Structure 1
Amino acid sequence: MSRNPDLNGPMLRMESVRKTFGDSVVLRDVDLEVAPHTVTTLIGASGSGKSTLLRCANLLEEIDDGAIWLDGEEITDPRVDQDAVRRRIGVVFQAYNLFPHMTVLENITLAPRRVHGVNRAEAEAHARELLDRLGLGAKAGEYPDRLSGGQQQRAAIVRALAVRPRLLLLDEITAALDPELVGEVLNVVRDLKNDGMTMVLATHEMGFAREVADQVCFLDGGVILERGSAEDIFGNPQQERTQRFLRRIVEAGRL
């Protein structure tokens, strides 16, 4: 087991990962590599395994077989401190999961202070810097129920960034938003890409996936059926199942 970061290899590597829930096989021998400073988008129908893949990458779900590496360290080795691993990975889900009894600033500084041991002044300064950048500087003292859905999701992204993660996992972060609010959240992801943040993004926003992805993975039945550049997957998919999926997306006017 390597404990020294491998900065020349993939940041995230999954090898032959298998995950089951009871008799249901959700991920089947999944292999994935994510290079530093790139965006990987996971596309596919609901139930194809996208969210489970992200939860396994963050060790929120225990895999049944295979192995996962982060910066060259096998994080699925039982000797690894899983809490230490999770401190290097930021996660944003479609549900905002903000604590309603805490202000936006308190939500964002909770993990840096309690988990990372950052002092209050430093944690708040960093949080305010991020809030200003994402257009929420005036909302630091508000409670979540005073924010719009788009503002709450941006606050959730700030909370994930506040721990200075190496890797950011985004799971259908626009799914719970009204259509007019989707754009403001996607703009945040565009800015993060421009900053070089390494991200894995599960999304149903096909046009956005095509725009931001360095690598696109099409999942079907728990398998990465096809992967490649956005140009390759959206412009010239090779698998018949990928072609049918994208054809339906086009017919629905979503691409």
Structure 2
Amino acid sequence: MSEPVLDVRGVVKVFGDNAVLRGVDLAVGEHQVVALIGGSGSGKSTLLRCASLLETVDDGQVLLDGEDVTDPRIDADQVRRRMGVVFQAYNLFPHLSVLDNVTLAPTVVHGRPKAEVRDEAMALLTRIGLAEKAGEYPDRLSGGQQQRVAIVRALAVRPRVLLLDEITSALDPELVGEVLAVVREVAAQGMTIVMATHEMGFARQVADTVAFLDGGVVLESGPPQQVLGDPVEARTRQFLSRVIDAGRL
């Protein structure tokens, strides 16, 4: 079996007296889509922040292509350049156009030629149906359009792995579908993705693996049909029953 692109080993993260992650293990293979599910406070977002080195881990390791990126001697900025991260908040620069938001990191941080980057950015924007918005500023876009631009901006740096943290939770329900459609297309193109989500139907359709976090550990992990359809753990069944009641499965 080939080496995982992202390999989280025994990661612990403590805030004050609160152990948010208590020894999390998660291996993500090339071209895999892993959906992280679990209740509020289960550790999904913290796990993604630790994986992207936005939080330092208190114990354990995060390996990217076999390299221990939690080693203090590692240049964290260099590691982050190999990851694309999208959060609930779009975090677009309001004073830059859509095109400039997408091309900023590849040109300034990665030092790639502007013309090449602009051509790639326009191709990405065309793929998600926003080419005509390239010259607009973010405040002229809907929430769903801004989130789609945020995904394109993350893809523009040609990341090894795309980390998505509840990217639809701040959107009106009618905008959720257009954002998930972009993720579905990106997954179909072979991008390696780790996605924290409450959209269980989407996880069932797109994910290769679903990992249920509870109390800071991965309590259950496996194919979507098993974890979502026939879970082993009582806590997983309890969580999913609440999700079904909320109409998200």
C-alpha displacement of 1:235: 1.1
Out of 200, 204, 207, the position equivalent to 1:213 is 207
Q: Which residue of 1 aligns with 2:219?
A: 225
Query: Counterparts of 1:168 and 1:49 in 2: how far apart (Å)?
Result: 18
Give the 3-state SS of the residue equivalent to 1:37 in structure 2.
coil
Query: Counterparts of 1:144 and 1:161 in 2: how far apart (Å)?
Result: 18
C-alpha displacement of 1:206: 1.0
Out of 52, 64, 67, the position equivalent to 2:61 is 67
Out of 137, 155, 167, the position equivalent to 2:149 is 155
User: Does 2:174 correspond to 1:167?
Assistant: no
Q: Which residue of 2 aligns with 1:8?
A: 2
Q: Which residue of 2 aligns with 1:4?
A: none
Out of 110, 114, 117, the position equivalent to 1:116 is 110
Which structure 2 residues correspond to residues 3-152 of structure 1 after superposition, within 5 A? 8-152=2-146
RMSD over equivalenced CA pairs, Å: 0.9
Q: Which structure 2 segments of 5+ residues have no match?
A: none
C-alpha displacement of 1:231: 0.8
Q: Which structure 1 segments of 5+ residues have no match?
A: 1-6
User: Does 2:233 correspond to 1:235?
Assistant: no
Give the 3-state SS of the residue equivalent to 1:101 in structure 2.
coil
Give the 3-state SS of the residue equivalent to 2:4 in structure 1.
coil
Query: Counterparts of 2:246 and 2:79 in 1: how far apart (Å)?
Result: 40
Query: Counterparts of 2:47 and 2:10 in 1: how far apart (Å)?
Result: 12
1:1-25 residue CA offsets vs partner (Å, 9 max, x unmatched): xxxxxx9211111111000111110
Query: Counterparts of 1:251 and 1:174 in 2: how far apart (Å)?
Result: 19
C-alpha displacement of 1:113: 1.0
C-alpha displacement of 1:83: 1.1
Which runs of structure 1 show a deviation greater than 6 angstroms over 4 or more consecutive aligned residues? none
Q: Which amino acid aligns with 1:43?
A: I
The TM-score with structure 1 as length reference comes to 0.96
Give the 3-state SS of the residue equivalent to 1:235 in structure 2.
coil
Query: Counterparts of 1:129 and 1:65 in 2: how far apart (Å)?
Result: 41
C-alpha displacement of 1:119: 2.0
C-alpha displacement of 1:198: 0.3
C-alpha displacement of 1:252: 2.1
Give the 3-state SS of the residue equivalent to 2:228 in structure 1.
helix
Query: Counterparts of 2:183 and 2:80 in 1: how far apart (Å)?
Result: 21
Give the 3-state SS of the residue equivalent to 2:22 in structure 1.
strand
Instruction: Give the percent of matched residue pairs that are identical in Structure 1 and Structure 2.
Output: 67
C-alpha displacement of 1:140: 0.4
Q: Which amino acid aligns with 1:186?
A: L
Aligned length: 249
C-alpha displacement of 1:211: 1.1
Give the 3-state SS of the residue equivalent to 1:249 in structure 2.
helix
Give the 3-state SS of the residue equivalent to 2:240 in structure 1.
helix
The TM-score with structure 2 as length reference comes to 0.98
Give the 3-state SS of the residue equivalent to 1:217 in structure 2.
strand
1:97-143 residue CA offsets vs partner (Å, 9 max, x unmatched): 00111100111111011100012211111111110111110000000
Q: Which residue of 1 aligns with 2:174?
A: 180
Query: Counterparts of 2:242 and 2:18 in 1: how far apart (Å)?
Result: 26
1:133-180 residue CA offsets vs partner (Å, 9 max, x unmatched): 111100000000000111000000010001010100000010111100
Q: Which amino acid aligns with 2:156?
A: A
